[in-house]
Amino acid sequence: MLQKRIDDQPTLSRQMVREAQGILHRHLKRVGLKQTAQRDTILRTFLETRDHLSTDELHRLVQKKDSGIGYTTVYRTLKLLADCGLASEVAFHDGVSRYEHQYNRRSHHHMVCTECGSSVEFFSPEVGELEREIGRKYRYLTTRHTFQIYGICEECRGKNEVSRS
């Protein structure tokens, strides 16, 4: 079971949601798409959760607010949120793409157990510095990175040791 995320902001204020909507609306205008109530509902639902959500999971949550929003709309909106920097895709051990919101958050990283799928979020300014250093070396203006460490958590190691006894 994937753990909930850690956040700098325990909840998002109405003002913060409006700011995130502004980011999405400006992006939609740039790419020639319409601003819709359905996209706003998906964004609000996405921002309200602290989970790493798959498209299926977000669709189930959105359906509770508006049963007329289809799976394809959720899928496409998640891609738009990622395109404008409000979301990022996170790959864990199970091959399912999940997303987490990036609005007003510090850069963070994940450690994922390959046995049970649990994850831990951690902050590391050194990883950010490494990104900038590599960017300078290769003359890139870096804009983001992903960093995940895979291993076996303490609980699963304990279970494995017990099963070998």
Q: Identify whether the C-beta of residue 58 lies closer than 8 Å to the C-beta of residue 75.
A: no
Query: Does the predicted TM-score (pTM) go above 0.85?
Result: no
Per-residue pLDDT of the chain (165 residues; tens, 9 = 90+): 444 445 555 577 888 889 999 999 999 999 999 999 999 999 999 998 877 889 999 999 999 999 999 999 999 999 999 999 888 887 766 777 888 877 666 677 778 888 887 778 777 888 888 989 999 999 998 877 777 788 899 989 888 776 665
Distance of CA 29 to the CA centre of its chain: 23
- At position 164, the amino acid (one-letter code) is R
Note the pLDDT of residue 8: 53
If one counts every other C-beta atom within 10 angstroms of the C-beta of residue 92, the result is: 20
Give the pLDDT confidence score for residue 7 in this predicted structure.
54
Q: Are 106 and 128 in contact (CB under 8 A)?
A: no
Q: What was the pLDDT predicted at 3? A: 47
Among residues 124, 128, 123, 118, the alpha carbon closest in space to that of 150 is found at: 118
Instruction: Supply the pLDDT for residue 4.
Output: 47
In terms of Cα–Cα distance, which of 20, 2, 11, 1 is closest to 121?
A: 2
Please report the pLDDT score of residue 2 as a whole number.
43
Element (DSSP H or E) covering residue 150: strand 148-151
Quote the strand ranges of 77-123, DSSP E: 87-91, 97-101, 109-113, 119-122
Q: What stretches of the chain show up as alpha helix (H) in DSSP?
A: 14-30, 37-48, 55-65, 71-83, 125-137, 154-164
The closest of 26, 29, 58 to 44, measured between CA atoms, is: 58
Q: Which domains does the chain have, with CATH numbers?
A: 1-105 (1.10.10.10), 106-165 (3.30.1490.190)
What is the rounded CA–CA span in Å between residue 21 and residue 35?
A: 10
> d(Cα 28, Cα 127) in Å, to the nearest integer?
32
